[in-house]
Structure 1
Amino acid sequence: MKKWGKRLAVLGGILFIILVCSSYYFYHLAIQRGEKKFLEGNQDLEVSAQAMEEFIAGDWREWVREQQFQDMMLTSFDDLKLKGYFLEAKQPSNKLVVFAHGYLGHGKQMGLFGQYYYEELGFNVFMPDLRGHGQSEGAYYGFGWHDRLDLIDWTNQLIDQLGEDTEIIYHGLSMGAATVLMASGETLPSQVKAIIADSPYTDVYELFKYQMDKMFHLPAFPLLDLTSVITNIKADYTLKEASALKQVKKAQVPILYIHGENDTFVPTHMTRELAEHTSSHHIVWTVPHANHGEAFVLEKETYIQKIQSFLNKYVKD
């Protein structure tokens, strides 16, 4: 019996070591800053030819290159140097859109939407590089959790620059959508009038749980729970703590939810669940046949109409 007890203890120790090593691997794979080759060829991220053409060769890219952005810097609450890009409206305006980009992206990629706000709506435009992305510091990806506080700090800095009468819209895509929703549960400056969340997830744990099953056919427990412990040690947040779902329950700002009905990377039901628990006024628009982040390209005219109708309710002319 003693021999069997020792063998079981050794086996348990080996299994624990394997799980811990695997958790570090998954932290490195998804959360630690760096190349993410595991996403290459991911069928869930395949988009239509129309969307791909717009993403890689749309005229918005030339528009971004032609603009004279003002570089802005922010020191985060945990002493990271973050960078953002401000574009003053053509005509004096107190309207400002603050963007939040997706995972592995950078601020100026939101020029896909920024061109419309700037050229058609006459807004001032601000596009930050979220922590760990672009030219901002950070050794990990915050998946919106720490980024929500950075977003508020950026907002206060912009209000100081533009004036107390500034009216601000948050517009986020994918991870950026989760970021603006996570911010919604905080005490926001009164200047923030509305939020647009395109393709958000409920929380990081549920997103990873879904992706682990899709990509690796693995159960969440115990590997994801150990990964959450590693994340807490190395990045100071847990995967369940980083929850847009908990935050929207406290939201006071109106929210427009947008999601593609064919999204297989961040499933559409996550937006529906978020909306069901949102305490503020909200609207949900799902887009037939659109995969992750495709809605603006595939249904641009309707997308713009939805934005205009939404903003007309909450932003003064």
Structure 2
Amino acid sequence: MRKRSIAAITAAGIGAFGVYLSNRIMFMKLKDPKEIETREREAGFYDPDLYLQMIKKEVRIPSPAGYHIHTVFLEQKPGAPYMIFCHGVTETKINSLKYVSLFMKKGFNAVIYDHRRHGDSGGKSTSYGHFEKNDLKAVVDCLIKEQGESAIFGIHGESMGAVTMLLYAGSVEDRAAFYIADCPFSDLTEQLSFLMSKSPRPALLSKMALSLAGSFIFLRDRYQIRGVSPKKAVGQIEKPVLFIHSRHDGFIPYHMTETLFKMKKGPKRLFLPEEGDHAQSYVKNPEAYSKEVDLFLKEFFYAE
């Protein structure tokens, strides 16, 4: 009787710990949208009045997972190519506006949207690219429906947005003319292991915790975290990819992008700026960033 009680208590404890760990991953605390707007406005990347004056169309795109994706089409020049922007985890589409400005100066129109569970989009959990890649396809489909089958577009992704983009291009459809992957991780399991390695707990405990979290995420959200792996998808991408990653990124190690670059076949470029922490390559190196994009576009896009 006592053994059964101990077993029951142990099972309950493991279950509670599994729920706690999976919650930490599935429901990472989001930034306050108002604080994001304030931060971007103070940095000079978001002007509310200018944004209101821009020619735009807001669309609620149905997600294959059963919610709506809040999307904004920004058109400065009819018939011009488009850039679709995928923001990082805990951010919103407002964070994409600095890149919108950069590419509009280069003659592009833009599409920004909120990932599932972020900003004004629906969805209950974050899956770091697994479900998000299918939402990106829904956004692409909507753009093509609006602009026609001849629509030309590139995709820019930052952090989780870059992972989403690479998974879309390598395992869903390679539909864009080119891709720009800014600071992606190469594999979710490896990324979580890296973050756990920074904690004081022993390595064995971290490995067991990750395995437990993965099991509970599968039970609760029906996907395997080991399947969220851009390095398994990048070899299937035929279109050009520009990989960008700050060397001093303390959240996602830049060597993950080096791995992806090496595994990508065909047309590609690599830019590893010295300045900036995670997702700060453009903020800290705006001129060099813009120049690298120009070189990439000249070699692989305008040359076509």
Same structural fold, with TM-score higher than 0.5 when normalized by the shorter chain: yes
1:22 aligns with 17
Q: Is the 8 A contact 2:65 2:131 kept in 1?
A: no
Alignment partners' CA distance in 2, 1:66 and 1:234: 43
2:88 aligns with 102
2:27 aligns with 32
Residues 140-151 of structure 1: matches in 2 within 5 Å?
140-151=125-136
TM superposition shift of 1:125: 0.4
1:40 aligns with none
Does 2:54 align with 1:67? yes
139, 145, 152: which one aligns with 2:137: 152
TM superposition shift of 1:164: 2.1
2:223 aligns with 237
Q: Is the 8 A contact 2:174 2:239 kept in 1?
A: no
Q: Is the 8 A contact 1:74 1:82 kept in 2?
A: yes
Q: TM-score if structure 1 supplies the norm length?
A: 0.85
Q: Is the 8 A contact 1:170 1:180 kept in 2?
A: yes
Does 2:177 align with 1:193? yes
CA gap of 1:312–1:164, structure 2 versus 1, over 3 A, is: farther
1:202 aligns with 186
**Aligned residue identity for 1:148:** K
72, 77, 99: which one aligns with 1:113: 99
Residues 151-230 of structure 1: matches in 2 within 5 Å?
151-188=136-173, 190=175, 192-215=176-199, 217-219=201-203, 220-230=206-216
2:42 aligns with 57
Q: TM-score if structure 2 supplies the norm length?
A: 0.88
Which secondary structure does the structure 2 equivalent of 1:217 belong to?
A: coil
TM superposition shift of 1:58: 2.4
Structure 2 unaligned residues grouped into runs of 5+: 33-37
Q: Is the 8 A contact 2:80 2:107 kept in 1?
A: no
**Aligned residue identity for 2:24:** L
Structure 1 unaligned residues grouped into runs of 5+: 38-52
Which secondary structure does the structure 1 equivalent of 2:287 belong to?
A: helix
1:124 aligns with 109
CA gap of 1:139–1:34, structure 2 versus 1, over 3 A, is: farther
1:270 aligns with 256
TM superposition shift of 1:168: 0.9
CA gap of 1:265–1:221, structure 2 versus 1, over 3 A, is: same
Which secondary structure does the structure 1 equivalent of 2:142 belong to?
A: helix
Identity within the alignment, %: 23
Which secondary structure does the structure 2 equivalent of 1:284 belong to?
A: strand
Alignment partners' CA distance in 2, 1:15 and 1:221: 19
Q: Is the 8 A contact 2:188 2:225 kept in 1?
A: yes
Equivalent pairs counted in the alignment come to 294
1:290 aligns with 276
78, 83, 92: which one aligns with 1:92: 78
261, 267, 274: which one aligns with 1:281: 267
Alignment partners' CA distance in 2, 1:31 and 1:294: 24
Q: Is the 8 A contact 1:68 1:87 kept in 2?
A: yes
Q: Is the 8 A contact 2:189 2:226 kept in 1?
A: yes
